[in-house]
């Protein structure tokens, strides 16, 4: 191939030489024996390569791997669940916590109150509101549960944000890098419903809590627990620390870290299940 072509043509000049094994005005003769294996090998490689490519494409169709558009669709779908899914699916009347209690004991939680969906004004302590401000507040859903013995109360919250995936990832990184989920001045507030066991569950009664910033959905999941008798707590402890071996605080000894973490985990699982199968009815 020549480096240039006729002026103004914009195309290179291509010339073909006589193939080996050909003589003008002579009968074609067979290619030399040393070429034939190479031609066969090249043909085999082409066939094998096409087969691998075809197999890979077919495999991706069979597996049905979601692409970037599927991820975006799931993220957007999760953001609209607060107004399109019944409350009993987001906060079931009864939640089973197999192995969620201290020492792997089973837990059963019963919902005693559901807060009206609301914005986030006055829903969080000021510093927590400031930390969550970058992702905005689309809607806040909350429910309060008690355990089978009615000794403890736990509020679970789902904060639906206005953020995209990039902003949620940035918030999650900030919470992790700065340890914001473990700071006692960033505890979420409980929902103290009048006329229930949680009527006296205020900010002074918070004993343990957990908070999770999701990156595959515009949602922050949290839970905060305390005693049902309304006692104040001087040394609240994040659930992650209360669950560690050897934790000696009253919250840890009572299993209130388990209450918060166990309920938050199961509500989060239910949320993910609803995103993946929005038409499926809860069991």
Mean pLDDT by 10 residues, the chain (283 residues): 48 43 44 49 45 38 39 82 91 94 92 95 93 96 97 98 96 96 95 96 97 96 97 95 92 96 96 72 40
CA dihedral 98, 156, 283, 217 (to 10 degrees): -110
pLDDT of residue 35: 46
DSSP class of 3: S
pLDDT of residue 101: 87
Q: pTM here?
A: 0.73
pLDDT of residue 71: 65
Contact 123, 97 (CB under 8 A): no
Signed CA dihedral, 247, 252, 257, 258: sign only: positive
């Amino acid at each position: 191939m020549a480096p240039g072509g006729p002026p103004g043509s914009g195309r290179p000049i291509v010339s073909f030489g006589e193939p080996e094994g050909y003589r003008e005005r002579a009968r074609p003769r067979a290619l030399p024996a040393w070429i034939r294996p190479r031609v066969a090998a090249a043909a085999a490689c082409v066939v094998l390569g096409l087969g691998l490519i075809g197999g890979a494409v077919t495999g991706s169709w069979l597996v049905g791997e979601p692409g970037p558009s599927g991820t975006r669709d799931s993220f957007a779908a999760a953001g609209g669940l607060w107004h399109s899914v019944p409350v009993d699916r987001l906060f079931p009347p009864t939640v089973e916590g197999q192995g969620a209690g201290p020492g792997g004991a089973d837990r059963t939680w019963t919902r005693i109150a559901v807060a009206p969906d609301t914005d986030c004004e006055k829903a969080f302590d000021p510093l927590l509101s400031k930390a969550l401000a970058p992702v905005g507040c689309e809607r806040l859903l909350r429910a309060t549960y008690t355990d089978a013995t009615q000794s403890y109360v736990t509020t679970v919250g789902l904060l639906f944000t206005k953020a995209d995936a990039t902003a949620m990832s940035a918030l999650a990184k900030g919470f992790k890098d700065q340890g914001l989920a473990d700071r006692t001045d960033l505890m979420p507030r409980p929902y103290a419903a009048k006329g229930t066991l949680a009527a006296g569950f205020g900010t002074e009664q918070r004993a343990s809590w957990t908070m999770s910033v999701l990156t595959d959905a515009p949602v922050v999941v949290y839970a905060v627990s305390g005693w049902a008798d309304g006692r104040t707590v001087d040394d609240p402890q994040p659930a992650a620390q209360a669950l560690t071996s050897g934790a000696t605080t009253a919250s840890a000894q009572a299993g209130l870290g388990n209450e918060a973490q166990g309920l938050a985990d199961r509500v989060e699982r239910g949320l993910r299940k609803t995103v993946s199968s929005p038409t499926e009815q809860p069991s």
